[in-house]
Structure formats: structure tokens, C-alpha cells
Amino acid sequence: LCGDLKMQVPFPFSLLCLQVIKCKAAVLWEANKPFSIEEVEVAPPKEREVRVKIMATGICRSDDHVITGAIVTPFPVILGHEAAGVVESVGQGVTSVKPGDKVIPLFVPQCGECKSCLNSKGNLCSKTDLGKSAGLMPDGTTRFTCKGKAVYHFLGTSTFTEYTVLHESAVAKIDSAAPLEKVCLIGCGFSTGYGAALQTAKVEPGSTCAVFGLGGVGLSVVMGCKVAGASRIIAVDINKDKFAKAKQLGATDCINPKDFNKPIQEVLMEMTSGGVDYSFEVIGRTDTMTAALACCQCNYGVSVIVGVPPAAGQITFDPLLLFTGRSWKGSVFGGWKSKDAVPKLVADYMKKKFDLDPLITHILPWTKINEGFDLLRKGK
């Protein structure tokens, strides 16, 4: 095999493509346990696959949902889906990236062939593992091994590791000058929230908005609403420590549901004389999803579910809420077609059209990942 490859590319590169890499990864062996930093073996990329050296990764609440069991996935698993890195090697047939390229992994890929990819209204590529949780590459196998055991992938990305393998459709090449420790957030949190306002809801100038949940994604929704020209952006959270940053990013009002003795939707209806034009649930709780719907203007209000729903969650609500004309929508990765949009969003960041710094609260060595999740759970 090496002999055949030598005729096509320089031998050192051929050898690099063929070898297994041993590196460190944060492995989750079972639910409700901390990550364990382990040595893992990362197999070389197969046809149409890319092996990437991860340079920076963010922590997202969706990763924590796996730990708590709210998202069901097989164990052991390497989590992580919000990252940036450099291509180390590519498999046969890869044309969109080459070794040395800076890239962002895409937990919602863009194959360019399925119904959603071919429809201008869709972005949820059928190749995504979202909602399936198979934890395997498209060929039904894994590229990770630890202590002789197969380790599952997460959302086709698995970024809590020094090296990972992705399908070519799940990798976006970005500006070589982009700072990876910043633009990694475009891999999930920022794009999801920003796009929910601009792409999914299509917030209009002069409109009123309510944003439930002020984590990184919720703050990105606030940023999107401001860019869209909303005249009033009401931020809702039970953690008042998040209010200052929300106002810094564009919120005009900040309210804590605990400060009222009535349902928060009633408070918002009174504040806006009949309901907001757009609301966003960015928490992932069924009770706040229905509250966000109910706080919209009854005839033309639009509510967007951005937070990942719990696996066993069910919603019961009064159908009159929809009968009068409200719209209820979902938004995955902000509605962006990932492979097309991510390089453009990185380019916009480089042109200073938005600032990612306010979304970064801590920078830790990745081996302190358990400390990072503790900070997340404490709302810090």
C-alpha cells in the first residue's frame, strides 16, 4: 500500500496518513461521572474523512446533557462539538481541505445531497448524528480506541481530544489568520444563537424580543436581535449575575422570574402591552418553552426553541395558543447551512462585525475539563 501511495504523494505524507496516533482525550466512561483523561488511539482517516488536531474547544450545555442522561448516547464516549483545529491528514477522495488548513468541525454537516441540503429552507443535513446518537462514523465504525475498547463519537465531532476524525462534510475550512481560541465558538454556541435571531426568526427592525436563558447561546441571541434592529430586547434568567453582560450586548431590560408572584409570560405580556413579536427559549426546559410561546403576541408572535429538549420531555399546552396565529419554530445550529455559513461567519468576525470576547468567561488547559463543567453548572 505504501508503494502505491509513493507514486502519488511524497512518502513522509503517505506514512503520516497510515499511522495510528496515540494522544490524550477526555473519555466519559458512564453517565453522572467525571471525565477521565486517558491515552487513546486515533485511527487514520478513511475515504472522505479528515483527521484534525484540536487546538481549542468550548464547553456547551449539550455536552453536559449527555453526562446527566438528558441526551442518550452510548458509552464510553468522547464528547465535545464546539471547536477549531488544524487538518493533520486526509483520506482518499477529500478535496475541500488539505493538511495544514485551519478548520471548524460541524456537528450539523452539509453533505450537499440530501433533501435538507438541497432545499433553500433547510439546514438539518441527514448525515448528522443529532437525534440518532449512534456515536459512529458514517460507515458504522469508530476511530477511537482506549484500553482495548472501542470509544464512541459524539455528534460526528468529538472535540475533547487532541486529535479527532470527521467526515469531510463535517469540516469547514476557515481563514488561516483566524484565532482558533476565539472562532471555536462559531462551531456551536455563537452561530446557534445569532442565527436563531437572524436566520430562523428573521427578527425585524423595531420589533420586541424576549430571550429566555442568558448562557453563551442566549447572549448570542441577544447579539443577533440587536444586529437585526430590535427596539426592545428583554432578557430573562433566574441568575441576576448574567444581567450586566446581557445589557452590554444589547438587552434593554433584564428580569428574574423569581421576583414575581405570577407566571413570567403574564409579566412579559403586561410589559409589552400584549406580547413580544419574537421569543427565544435557550435553556432546554419544557416549562420555559411553553412560557416563551405564551408571551408572544397572540396573532403574529413567533417563538423559537433553541435549547436542546430533554430526551424524555413531553409538552402539554393549550392549543388555543397556536390557533390564534402564533408560530412555534425550532432552530438547529441557527438555521445556517454549516459548510457554507461558517467560513462567512469567521470572515465577519475578522472584519469585526461582532465580538466573541464577551462570550468567553474562562480559558483553562483542557485537562481541567471537569473544572470547566463545574463552572458551567454553577452558572459562572
49-105 tens-digit pLDDT: 999 999 999 999 899 999 998 888 999 999 999 999 999 999 999 999 999 999 999
Strands 149-151 and 163-167: unpaired
Cell of 190: 455563537
- CATH number corresponding to 202-330: 3.40.50.720
Give this prediction's pTM: 0.91
**Confidence band, pLDDT 50/70/90 cuts, at residue 6:** very low
Fold of the 21-189+336-378 domain: Quinone Oxidoreductase; Chain A, domain 1 (3.90.180)
> Out of 14, 62, 220, 338, which one is annotated catalytic?
62
What digits encode the pLDDT tens for the residues 119-152? 999 999 998 887 777 899 988 999 999 999 999 9
> Out of 17, 65, 296, 303, which one is annotated catalytic?
65
**Confidence band, pLDDT 50/70/90 cuts, at residue 232:** very high
Residues 6+ apart with CB under 8 A from 304: 196, 200, 201, 278, 279, 280, 281, 329, 330, 331
Q: Tell whether the model's pLDDT for residue 2 goes beyond 50.
A: no
Q: Establish whether 362 is a catalytic residue.
A: no
Range of lowest pLDDT (172-176, 246-250, 307-311, 335-339)? 307-311
Q: What is the mean pLDDT of the chain?
A: 92
Neighbours of 257 (CB within 10 A): 17
Give the pLDDT of residue 15. 44
Contact present, 61 and 189 (Cβ < 8 Å): no
Cell of 201: 426568526
> Out of 60, 225, 254, 296, which one is annotated catalytic?
60
Give the pLDDT of residue 115. 94
- How far, CA to CA in Å, does 48 sit from each of 85, 139, 308? 18, 11, 29
- Mean pLDDT over residues 242-254, rounded? 97
Q: Facing residues of 173 across strands?
A: 103
> Out of 17, 81, 116, 279, which one is annotated catalytic?
81
Give the pLDDT of residue 317. 85
- Mean pLDDT over residues 278-301, rounded? 95
Burial class of residue 140 in the structure, from the number of CB atoms within 10 Å of its CB (0-12 exposed, 13-18 middle, 19+ buried): exposed
Give the pLDDT of residue 312. 66
Give the pLDDT of residue 303. 98
Give the pLDDT of residue 18. 64
Residue-range domain boundaries for the chain: 21-189+336-378, 202-330
**Confidence band, pLDDT 50/70/90 cuts, at residue 313:** confident
- Mean pLDDT over residues 333-349, rounded? 97
- Mean pLDDT over residues 285-292, rounded? 94
Q: Establish whether 65 is a catalytic residue.
A: yes
Q: Establish whether 62 is a catalytic residue.
A: yes
Q: Tell whether the model's pLDDT for residue 9 goes beyond 80.
A: no
> Out of 111, 117, 184, 188, which one is annotated catalytic?
188
- Mean pLDDT over residues 310-333, rounded? 88
Neighbours of 93 (CB within 10 A): 10
Which residue would you say has higher pLDDT here, 314 or 12? 314
